[in-house]
Amino acid sequence: MKLTLKIWRQKNKNAHGEMKTYQVDHISDDMSFLEMIDVLNEELVEKNDDPVAFDHDCREGICGMCSMVINGQPHGPGKGITTCQLHMREFNDGDTIYIEPFRADAFPIIKDLVVDRSAFDRIQQAGGFISVNTSGNTIDANAIPVPKENADTAFDSATCIGCGACVAACKNSSAILFVSAKVSQFALLPQGELERKERALKMVEQMDKEGFGSCTNIGDCAAECPKEISLENIARLNREYISATIKSK
Amino acid sequence: MSSISIFLNSSVGKKVLMSLTGLFLMLFLVIHLLGNLQLLKHDDGYAFNTYAAFMTTNPLIKIVSWGTYFIIIIHAIRGISLERANRSNRTNKYVISNYHRSTHWTARKMGLLGAIILLFIVFHMSDFWWKYKFGETPWTKYTVELTTGNISSPEDVTGQGITKFTKYTDAANASEIVIAKDLYKKVVETFSNIFFVLFYAVSMLAIAFHLWHGFASSFQSLGINHKKYNPLIKGLGKAFSIIIPILFALIPIIMFFTHQ
């Protein structure tokens, strides 16, 4: 397979970026998208050129590191997959592929396709946790009865890998799908009860501080989410937030 | 900051406000439509003019009216600031932005549709509301026979010193006399012009598309999202966004053809 790649190149956060054109040849159908970029980078290194910087880690769709927007779609074509799970068989010989970073002011570009998603970490630190005694007398999680349906729904929310595709897909650069999944996974479990009110208030406050946009219920976030986190989570966050505001002192 | 102002300035609070004001305006549309449908009665505007007089003089309705204007302004101002703020969150735009998304385009164009509707409301208010309240509107006199309920052909009584809606019983002739501002005549005049008819009909399209997303979206913003009820909310939303604008648009179209 022979391909033309148009890739966003940007030296650093403050540098001016632009799309650059590259040709790659001998790409196998079975390669993953990231392996295809590995091939390009090897060629670039051999030519003493700067390789394309991109985020990646587990390469099996669970770490949330890989990002990039492929032909206008976060994580490229295909439903419910990350870029590392995308295979070259989805493309045709002679295709031109546009590769851009996730774009949002809250995700500043570090280099090329690598963006700074630490805003998500700060939102998590604001309330995405539960207080558990870890001083030797930890209670076994299974000792607390949880209805099966709640456990399943909480687990669905917990599958969010925090990759940021929701922000990249949203016209408003809203992070609400991510925040709603993180709030939901605890709101549905008895373990999350203790910090329930503060969690919703603080995580939304931090999300707004980080410069993400406001949700207008478009749904592109859920459509592009590699873990298919549903919009029900956003409705749950709205409920949690409204009720926390009413109950707050 | 108090918890209410924190709430209203938060991204969740902003959409809750859009949702609540939007739901109120949807209710207003229904009431407004029911009133307007009286334009189609074959009574030379008796029902409509009486209704218009009631709507502009009843103190309770007056309060609700000013409340409605206020809510339209809140919905518009909040909508504009939301759209502006959201646009500024991505300074570097995508190179490829023409990707065909699976979600409905109306959801992404609420700001534009809202702006069209706002322009329409400004025009609509200056066309009818302003003229009715402050402009030169003719006065008309209806004689209703009390025994049969028949309404005689209205008599133009403009310039006879009448300044307010009057209703009295003429016992000698067993009839009721109603003198009202003839807004009906103004509406007939406006809708005898094909360009106004088209303008009103096309503006209803903007409302239809705005509601296509807005109806179901306002429930989601309030946290009402349940597998069991979602099909009902979505179905109602689609029906509402088709039926209401079509009925509104039919009024000028029917009037254009029946008053040739």
Amino acid residing at B139 = W
pLDDT for position A209: 97
Considering only the beta carbons, identify the residue of A105, A204, A235 that sits closest to B220.
A235
Question: Where is the domain boundary, A62, A88, A111?
Answer: A111
Domain hosting A15: range is: 3-111
Lowest mean pLDDT among A41-55, A73-87, B120-134, B224-238: B120-134
CB contact under 8 A, B89 and A173: yes
The domains of chain B, with CATH numbers, are 3-87+105-137+183-258 (1.20.1300.10), 138-181 (no CATH)
Task: Let me know whether A53 and A67 are in one domain.
Answer: yes
Task: Let me know whether A206 and A232 are in one domain.
Answer: yes
Question: Looking at the predicted structure, is the pLDDT value of residue A249 above 80?
Answer: no
Q: What is the pLDDT of residues B192-240, one digit of tens each?
A: 999 999 999 999 999 999 999 999 999 999 999 999 999 999 999 999 9
Tell me the pLDDT of chain B averaged across its residues: 92
Domain total in chain A? 2
Beta bridge mates, B140: B156, B180
Chains A and B form CB pairs within 8 A to the count of 124
Task: Let me know whether A141 and A192 are in one domain.
Answer: yes
pLDDT for position A135: 83
Query: For residue A6, which of A55, A70, A59, A50 has the smallest C-alpha distance?
Result: A70
Task: Let me know whether A123 and A242 are in one domain.
Answer: yes
Query: For residue B121, which of B177, B71, B169, B87 has the smallest C-alpha distance?
Result: B71
pLDDT band at B81 (very low <50, low <70, confident <90, very high): very high
Q: What is the pLDDT of residues B144-197, one digit of tens each?
A: 988 888 888 788 888 787 888 988 998 888 899 999 999 999 999 999 999 999
Question: Looking at the predicted structure, is the pLDDT value of residue B80 above 90?
Answer: yes
Q: Is A102 on the interface with B (CB under 8 A)?
A: no
Nearest-angstrom CA–CA distance, B11 and A124: 17
CB contact under 8 A, A214 and B220: no
Q: How many CA atoms lie within 13 A of A196 on its CB side?
A: 16
pLDDT for position B7: 95
Question: Looking at the predicted structure, is the pLDDT value of residue B241 above 90?
Answer: yes
CB contact under 8 A, A72 and B96: yes
Q: What is the pLDDT of residues A162-202, one digit of tens each?
A: 999 999 999 999 999 999 999 999 999 999 999 999 999 99
pLDDT for position B3: 85
The DSSP letter of residue B140 is: E
Question: Where is the domain boundary, A68, A93, A111?
Answer: A111
Nearest-angstrom CA–CA distance, B7 and A244: 10
CB contact under 8 A, B89 and A223: no
Q: Is B224 on the interface with A (CB under 8 A)?
A: yes
